[in-house]
Amino acid sequence: MRENISETWLVMITVILATAIFAKVIQVLLRKEYRSKSRLPPGRRGLPLIGDSINWYNAVASSHPPQFVEKMVQSLFGKWAVVSADPIFNRFVMQNENKLFKSSYPKSFRDLVGKDGVITVQGEQQRKLHGIASNMMRLEKLKFHFMNDIQKVMLQTLSNFNNNQVILLQDVCRKVAINLMVNQLLGVSSESQINEMVQLFSDFVDGCLSIPINIQGFAYHTAMKAREKIIGKINKTIEVYRKNGAPMVDNGVLGRLLEEESLPDDAIADFIINLLFAGNETTTKTMLFAVYFLTQCPRAMKQLLDEQDSLKNDSGEEGLTWQDYKAMPFTQCVIDETLRLGGIAIWLMREAKQDIQYQAVHLDENVYNAALSFNPWRWMEPENEEKRNWRTSPFYAPFGGGARFCPGAELARLQIALFLHYFVTTYRWTQIKEDNMSFFPSARLVNGFEIRLTRREEHETN
C-alpha cells in the first residue's frame, strides 16, 4: 500500500515534470528563446534542455524503477517525436537552419568539455576540427591503427567471466566502451593505466550531468578536478613526444594527432575529451541493444553465430584480420538494424534539425515494412540497398549528416562488430530478468539486461 502511494506520487510528479519540460521545449522553440543562453539549464551535450531534471529523476527512480512511470514518460516523449514531425514545427526548424540551438550549451558545460572541442564550436573552427577527427578515424586508418587494439581490449574486458556467472550486460558494455575509448584515444594499453583514466573520466562525466557548483564535495567540482588531471596526463604525453619525437609504439589518436596535424597544444586536450564524450555512450548502447535484439530473435542469432564461426582462420594469425571484418555481411545487417531500431543517438539529435526527422523516418511504416520489428534481413533486400547508405540516405541516418556527420562512424561499426564476434563466440547466455528499452533519460534497458553466461565450450559438452 505504501509503495502504491509512493508510486502514484512519483507518477504524478513525473508527469507534471515531463509536461513542464515538454511545454518548456515548445515554448523555447516557438518563442525563439533559444538565443538567450542563460535561460537554458545546464546539462550535458545530449540534454541541454532537460539538464538537471534528469538527475533528479535518476535519483528518485534509480532504486525502484516503476515500470509505468517509464511508460508514461515514454509516451510523453512519443509526443516529442510527434511534435518534431509537425509540419509547422518543421518549417520553423527549416527556417532556422544553423541558427536553431546554436551555442545553446551552457557555459558550465562548455567549461567542462572545453571551449576548443568539436562538439561546442561553430563555423570555421568546427569544420577544421571535424576534418581532423574524420581524418583520424577514417576507414583506411582502422586496419592499421585500430584493428588489433580493439581486439586486445575485447580480450581484456570480455574473456574472464566464469561459467554460470550472472552479469548486467549494460555495465559490461559500459566498461568495454570506455576502455576502448581510453585505449584508442590516448594509446594507453596497460590495464592499470586504463583503469586510472577510466576513473578520471567517470568523475568527469558525472560532473557534466550535475549542477555547476564548483565547491569541494560537489560532483561538478570533482569533475573540474578530473578534467585538470586528464589534461595533465595529455600534457605529459605531449611533452614526452616533443622531447623524444615519435614514440616507438602506436600512441593512439593522441600520438597520431601530434604526428600528423598541427593543433595548438592547448586545443589538443579538448579535442580528445570531446571524442571521448561523443563516442562512449553511443557505442555502449549499440553493443548492448544488438545483443538484446539478437536474444529476442534466435534465427538472427544463429545466422550471426554461424557467420562469426565461419570466418576463416587459416592465416594462423591471432584474432581477426581486416579480411575477416570485410566478410561479415550479416553482422553488418544486424548492426544497421540495431542502429535503426535502437534510436541510440536520439539525444544527440536535438541540435541538428534535419536529424530529428531522420530519426522519425527510421520507424516510419511508409519507409520500412513492419518498422517496429527487428529484421536484419531487410537490409539484404535489393530495394533497401540505396536506403541503406548511411552516409547520404535521407531514410537512414544513424550517424547524422551534413557538417556534423559522425566522424567516428566507421570506428564505431568496427568496434561493435568485434564486440559481437568475441561475445557470441565465447559465451552462451540466458536472460534472467525481463527487460525493456527505455529512451528516458537516455537509451538503455530498464533492468540493465541481466543474463547468465555459460562458456561456450562447457555449454557444448553438456
CA 436 to chain centre: 18
Q: What span, in angstroms and rounded, lies between the C-alpha atoms of 133 and 63?
A: 39
- Smallest CA-to-CA distance from 53 within 25, 87, 95 is with 25
174 binds, among ligand HEM, ligand NAG, none (CB under 5 to 8 A by kind): ligand NAG
- Applying the rule CB under 6 A, the residues between 158 and 177 that interact with ligand NAG are 174
Among 121, 178, 224, 361, the residue binding ligand NAG under the rule CB under 6 A is 178
Among 33, 266, 306, 458, the residue binding ligand NAG under the rule CB under 6 A is 266
CA 111 to chain centre: 21
The verdict on 67 binding ligand NAG (CB under 6 A) reads yes
Kindly write out the interface string for residues 50-89 of this chain, putting x where it contacts ligand HEM by CB under 6 A and - elsewhere: ----------------------------------------
The verdict on 278 binding ligand HEM (CB under 6 A) reads yes
Q: What is the DSSP string of 278-309?
A: HHHHHHHHHHHHHHHHHHH-HHHHHHHHHHHH
217 binds, among ligand NAG, ligand HEM, none (CB under 5 to 8 A by kind): none
Among 51, 187, 408, 448, the residue binding ligand HEM under the rule CB under 6 A is 408
Contact call for residues 432 and 405 (beta carbons, < 8 A): no
Judged by CB under 6 A, the stretch of 27-35, 88-96, 196-204, 407-415 that binds ligand HEM is: 407-415
Minimum Å distance from CB 121 to ligand HEM?
A: 8
Q: Name residues whose C-beta falls within 8 Å of residue 229's C-beta, 6 or more positions apart in sequence.
A: 200
CA 255 to chain centre: 24
- 344: enclosing H helix or E strand: none
- 179: enclosing H helix or E strand: helix 169-186
Q: What is the DSSP string of 300-369?
A: HHHHHHHHHHHS---S--SS--HHHHHT-HHHHHHHHHHHHHH-TTTTGGGGSHHHHHHHHHHT-TTTST
- 39: enclosing H helix or E strand: none
The verdict on 292 binding ligand NAG (CB under 6 A) reads no
The verdict on 448 binding ligand HEM (CB under 6 A) reads no
Minimum Å distance from CB 28 to ligand HEM?
A: 18
Smaller CB separation from ligand HEM, 14 or 282: 282
- Applying the rule CB under 6 A, the residues between 336 and 395 that interact with ligand HEM are 339, 344-345, 348, 351-352, 355
DSSP 427: E
3-class SS shares of the chain: helix, strand, coil, % to 5: 65, 5, 30
Minimum Å distance from CB 186 to ligand NAG?
A: 12
The verdict on 434 binding ligand NAG (CB under 6 A) reads yes
Cell numbers linked to 409? 562512424
Among 46, 343, 400, 448, the residue binding ligand HEM under the rule CB under 6 A is 400
406 appears as a binding residue in the annotation = yes
Minimum Å distance from CB 392 to ligand NAG?
A: 28
Q: What span, in angstroms and rounded, lies between the C-alpha atoms of 26 and 20?
A: 10
Judged by CB under 6 A, the stretch of 110-118, 254-262, 279-287, 407-415 that binds ligand NAG is: 279-287
Judged by CB under 6 A, the stretch of 132-140, 201-209, 299-307, 361-369 that binds ligand NAG is: 201-209
Total residues at interface with ligand HEM (CB under 6 A): 28
Q: Over the range 196-230, which residues count as b (16 or more CB within 10 Å of their CB) and which as e?
A: ebbebbebbbebbbbebeeeeeebbbbbbbbbeeb
Minimum Å distance from CB 137 to ligand HEM?
A: 6
Three-state DSSP state, 373: coil
The verdict on 59 binding ligand NAG (CB under 6 A) reads no
**Annotated binding residues for heme, as ranges?**
406
